């Protein structure tokens, strides 16, 4: 838990560096996620962080709150943009993300935590929060023309992208074909990360960062140099989606 929480905090810090000194016009800049500006994006992270904190600290209360959210309030149950300034949102985010990480650190990695979908282990839950912070952080950085660090922390994102292959089919009402796909991705550090049997006929290779962008619906595969060999790999890459929620396409990427 310490390692994933350290990486999650580092991902928070990277996004904080991007938004810390924005003016109000920049906070209102439209991101690639349809209908969201920078402020909306950070508030969405805050809402999910608050829901996560509640789920980790008090599962029963979270399940009660989940009913209210399902009844129509959505994540606005935890607060909304309202009339908040960018500075207000930044202070709010710093407080809530710290609360969430502290909650994660208080639990064992295999403890089961309730969520909007299936229960998750604490370790998987923290990893999912890192994935969402990274993907929305990339949206914000792209919007503002800011540098976005390429680090080996994305291994967490890549791992979720690979292990949700079956989910990508189920989420679209498609039959999962099974079979093995060998995945070989080049990390920002130059290391090669692998999944699946070496002798699998179907293979997916290329940049880890590009794979993460595709799996989080931030890039279309045709806009990358990823290489898919075999029908299983080609089909999966076209529909890969690492996050829960309705199927999306890169043009309308809310998660």
The enclosing domain of 12 has a CATH number of 1.20.120
Residues 6+ apart with CB under 8 A from 237: 204, 214, 221, 226, 228
Using a pLDDT cut of 90, give the percent of the chain over it. Answer: 88
Residues 111 and 163 in one domain: no
Residues 117 and 25 in one domain: yes
Domain coverage including residue 240: 156-245
The enclosing domain of 207 has a CATH number of 3.30.1050.10
Using the 3D structure, point to which of 75, 102, 122 is the last residue of a domain.
Answer: 122
Q: Which residue shows structure tokens 């960062």?
A: 209
Distance CA(90)–CA(103), nearest Å, equals 20
Residue range 137-182, pLDDT digits in tens: 999 999 999 999 999 999 999 999 999 999 999 999 999 999 999 9
Using the 3D structure, point to which of 100, 122, 144 is the last residue of a domain.
Answer: 122
Quote the pLDDT of residue 34.
81
pTM, two decimals, is 0.93
Average pLDDT over residues 180-187: 98
Distance CA(210)–CA(190), nearest Å, equals 14
pLDDT of 118 higher than 80: yes
pLDDT of 210 higher than 90: yes
On whether the CB atoms of residues 217 and 224 are closer than 8 A, the answer is no
């Amino acid at each position: 838990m310490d390692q994933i929480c350290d990486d999650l905090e580092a991902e928070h810090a990277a996004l904080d560096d991007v938004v810390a000194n924005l003016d109000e016009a920049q906070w209102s800049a439209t991101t690639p996620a349809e209908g969201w500006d920078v402020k909306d994006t950070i508030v969405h992270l805050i809402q999910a962080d608050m829901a996560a904190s509640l789920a980790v600290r008090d599962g029963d209360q979270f399940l009660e709150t989940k009913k209210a959210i399902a009844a129509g309030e959505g994540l606005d149950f935890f607060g909304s943009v309202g009339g908040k300034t960018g500075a207000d949102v930044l202070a709010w985010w710093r407080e809530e993300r710290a609360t969430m990480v502290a909650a994660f650190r208080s639990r064992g990695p295999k403890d089961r935590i309730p969520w909007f979908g299936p229960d998750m282990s604490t370790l998987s839950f923290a990893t999912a929060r890192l994935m969402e912070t990274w993907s929305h952080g990339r949206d914000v950085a792209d919007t503002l023309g800011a540098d976005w660090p390429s680090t080996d922390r994305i291994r967490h994102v890549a791992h979720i992208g690979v292990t949700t292959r079956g989910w990508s089919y189920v989420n679209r009402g498609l039959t999962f074909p099974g079979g093995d796909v060998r995945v070989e991705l080049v990390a920002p550090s130059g290391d090669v990360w692998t999944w699946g049997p070496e002798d699998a006929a179907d293979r997916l290779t290329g940049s880890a960062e590009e794979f993460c962008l595709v799996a989080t619906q931030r890039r279309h595969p045709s806009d990358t140099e990823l290489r898919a060999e075999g029908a299983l790999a080609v089909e999966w890459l076209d529909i890969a989606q690492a996050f829960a929620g309705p199927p999306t396409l890169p043009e309308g990427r809310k998660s």
